[in-house]
Amino acid sequence: MRDSQSSDIELCIFILVDGARPDVINQLVDAGEMPHVRRYIAKPGTSGSAVTCLPSTTSVGYLPMLAGLYPGTADVPGIRWVDKKQFGAPGFFHTGHRSYTGAGLAHLNEDMPDEVETVYELCSQSLAFRSEVQRGLPSRQNRNWILCALPYAVGHYTHRVGSIDRWLVRGLCDGISGPQEEMPRFIFVPLSDVDVRSHGYGPMSRQVLDSYRGIDESIGAIFETLEKRGILDRTLVILSSDHGNTDTRHHLDLSRMVEEAGHRVFEYPMIHRRNCTAAVMVSGNSLANVYLSSSSGWEAPLTEDQLKREHGGLLEDIKNRDEVDFIAYRSEGNRVTVASVRGQGILDKDDGAYSYAWDGDDPLDLGLSKSTILVGKALEKTYESSYPDALEQLWYMFQSKRAGDIVVTSKLGFDLRARYEWPEHHSSHGALSRDQMMVPMMSNRPLADDAPMRTVDIFPTIANSLNLKPKKPHFGRSLI
């Protein structure tokens, strides 16, 4: 069935609308305010939702879609992280840390292990526009990468990058209007105005709704170009996102809290502090990887026994904060503990199944009727919960040695960064909360949406549509 559906596809275009919420798109489509999305995508194809990854944030959130891996399995567990062994190595300043919100983004591809295989490595005839994942992509095929840097930096402060999005879309249209021998087989374009405006004004603001309407105009331009070129019927277009967005009204300065507990804290942008005993690395502002030194220094990640023995007070203080939803950390035997004021759960994985048991109330409130869930059923069993795909995402987050000793997530309405967030954020993402994890999954062709979808399904779907054969292990299933 899959071969017959995908054999006629000559071009695959993946449009990533950064920070887009599926409920907002559906509301605007139903109201007739996104007519091009309705005409070219929703009506003939699929207009659904999917679950993204943890952390639900930009940059590392591209990896499921372009490489078929979760951030944890690619050893990049956030847009900011610390490698403890390197961080504690002798030297004048701390090393072994990264932030992908600035110049450090250039190191994303070298930070990933060799086991990561991107769609660009499978398809040499790829064309991308400002792709942050670049492994296998020659610089000449990653258009506007350098030229966009300054305009995006300005857009961060002015809360708008719509003109840059339109510029990238014009480049895409030019790319499919050239000579046949120069026609790419795969095109990737990320559009960022929705996310930038969401942080500036809130995810349901008038300014953000206008940005969605601008996305619709870009969709119209792309499909009209495909029609003029005569290749629309041989093109697969996928539209999705790396994360959702939720309204933010209050900010917990988690770094200051750790500092007040007696630690010398390393955080961005204060990266020249020396002799630090803790590091707080925030992603999307709703999730933080917290790293702590111990009696043995910075040698290795801490597990529950050592955390409670040396940092028990801080652990309890963070868990009990009104702004904090839950915390998670490593337990002995490679298990994961999830704790909140509601209760404590223990997550394990063995023989193709997750086991999850809790004391008190389930801190994740997953509504599970039994404690053992087959890996293949983990998404289905948690899909309608407040934390969709929580078991899979938490498990693989902690498969990275760079994941924090404590992973902290904020409640809705709050985030975890205050002092150095300029300008103030009015929306957040990064955590497991439903509206941060749910993203659109749309296509101009019918997708196999008979079961819940993940963004990690996009990688094998692209590969299958173009008859590409991944050589390295990956997650996900083809949807065509």
pLDDT computed for residue 431 by the predictor: 98
Arithmetic mean of pLDDT over the chain: 95
DSSP 411: P
User: Which neighbouring-strand residues pair with 97?
Assistant: 82
Percent of the chain with pLDDT over 70: 99
Handedness of CA 43, 215, 69, 357 (dihedral sign): negative
The whole-angstrom separation of Cα 434 and Cα 412 is 10
Q: Tokens for 285, please give them.
A: 């502002």
Q: Do residues 252 and 409 lie in contact, with contact meaning Cβ atoms separated by under 8 Å?
A: no
Q: Would you say residue 440 has pLDDT above 70?
A: yes
Q: C-alpha angle 4/8/13, rounded to 5°?
A: 115
Q: Would you say residue 1 has pLDDT above 80?
A: no
Q: Work out the pLDDT band at 450, boundaries 50, 70, 90.
A: confident
pLDDT computed for residue 90 by the predictor: 87
The backbone torsions φ and ψ at residue 239, rounded to the nearest 5 degrees and listed phi first, read -125, 125
How many CB atoms are closer than 10 A to CB 271?
A: 13
pTM: 0.96
Q: Do residues 430 and 57 lie in contact, with contact meaning Cβ atoms separated by under 8 Å?
A: yes
**Tens of pLDDT, residues 285-332:** 999 999 999 998 998 999 999 999 999 999 999 999 999 999 999 999
pLDDT computed for residue 296 by the predictor: 86
**Tens of pLDDT, residues 189-238:** 999 999 999 999 999 999 999 999 999 999 999 999 999 999 999 999 99
pLDDT computed for residue 7 by the predictor: 67
pLDDT computed for residue 6 by the predictor: 58
**Tens of pLDDT, residues 76-104:** 999 999 999 999 998 889 999 999 998 89
Identify which of 133, 406, 455 has the alpha carbon closest to the alpha carbon of residue 287.
Answer: 406
pLDDT computed for residue 17 by the predictor: 98
**Tens of pLDDT, residues 268-282:** 999 999 999 999 999
Q: What is the mean pLDDT of residues 407-432?
A: 95
Q: Would you say residue 119 has pLDDT above 70?
A: yes
